């Protein structure tokens, strides 16, 4: 039992490291060759987990080999546009200037029902509202609505808007994020004073706190047990 536990733990750590090295993409964003590598790595790891008669190294070496191959292919695709087209393919234009390209649908084995489903997921319920629809190499659909159907922006209304940066997390579950605090105009003493103003005596009592680009503090205390 202990041997199985240790083997499983070792393989789990190796798979996690391998997937981490492969990058931060979500499953839906993986290229076909990346998805194939991810599936094969999981299969290679499962065999030594289930069969203790197989030496652990026989499971580790194939995983490392697949990882090395994936890194090599990714590097080649990064350096060569032609290789990237061969490995990953090219985006396919399903709708161009409002016209549906039937031949592209046949080439990609893609149906109108598939298109309509993905359009609905983007809150577009009428195909007539689409100017361009592009099927990306990872299977995601990029859509450019017709000008009259796009959301109104401040630029359309000739309005000037102020710059907004993402809010900076300062406290998460009672833990002060010192490196983030240094990016703001606050110091620990000033932060504690601001917390005291809203009735929070300790940083450890804060569930979440952040500061926006205007210096406005958002804070929520932990629920009392």
pLDDT level of residue 180 (50, 70, 90 thresholds): very high
pLDDT level of residue 153 (50, 70, 90 thresholds): confident
The CATH number of the structural domain formed by 168-221 is 3.30.240.20
Q: So what's the pLDDT on residue 12? A: 83
Average pLDDT over residues 164-182: 91
Burial class, 23, CB count within 10 angstroms (exposed 0-12 / middle 13-18 / buried 19+) = exposed
Q: How far is CA 38 from the centre of its chain?
A: 16
Cα dihedral 80, 83, 87, 88 sign? positive
Is the separation of the CB atoms in 219 and 174 below 8 Å? Answer: no
Average pLDDT over residues 128-148: 90
Share of residues in the chain with pLDDT > 70 (%)? 95
Return the number of other C-beta atoms located less than 10 Å from residue 18's C-beta: 22
CATH superfamily of the 92-149 domain: bsu07140 like domains (3.30.240.20)
Gap between the Cα atoms of 87 and 202, Å rounded: 55
Is pLDDT above 90 for 134? yes
Q: So what's the pLDDT on residue 23? A: 67
Is pLDDT above 90 for 117? yes
pLDDT tens digits for range 197-211? 989 989 999 999 999
Burial class, 126, CB count within 10 angstroms (exposed 0-12 / middle 13-18 / buried 19+) = exposed
Boundaries of every domain in the chain: 2-86, 92-149, 168-221
Q: What's the mean per-residue pLDDT of the chain?
A: 85
User: Is there a shared CATH topology between the 92-149 domain and the 168-221 domain?
Assistant: yes
Is pLDDT above 90 for 116? yes
pLDDT tens digits for range 35-48? 777 788 888 888 77
């Amino acid at each position: 039992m202990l041997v199985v536990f240790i083997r499983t733990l070792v393989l789990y750590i190796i798979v996690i490291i391998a997937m981490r090295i492969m990058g931060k993409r979500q499953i839906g964003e993986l290229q076909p060759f990346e998805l194939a590598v991810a599936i094969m790595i999981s299969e290679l790891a499962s065999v030594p987990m289930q069969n203790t008669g197989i030496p652990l190294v026989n499971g580790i070496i194939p995983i490392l080999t697949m990882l090395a191959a994936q890194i090599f292919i990714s590097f080649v695709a990064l350096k060569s546009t032609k290789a990237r087209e061969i490995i990953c393919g090219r985006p396919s234009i399903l709708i161009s200037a409002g016209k549906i390209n039937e031949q592209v649908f046949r080439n990609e084995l893609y149906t109108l029902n598939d298109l309509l489903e993905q359009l609905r997921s983007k809150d577009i319920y009428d195909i007539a509202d689409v100017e361009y629809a592009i099927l990306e190499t990872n299977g995601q659909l990029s859509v450019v609505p017709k000008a009259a159907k796009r959301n109104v922006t401040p630029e359309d209304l000739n309005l000037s808007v102020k710059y907004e940066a993402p809010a900076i997390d300062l406290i998460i579950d009672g833990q002060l994020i010192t490196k983030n605090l240094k990016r703001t105009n606050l110091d620990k003493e000033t932060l504690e004073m601001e917390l005291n103003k809203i009735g929070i005596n300790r940083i450890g009592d804060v569930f979440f706190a952040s500061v926006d680009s205007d210096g406005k503090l958002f804070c929520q205390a932990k629920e009392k047990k």
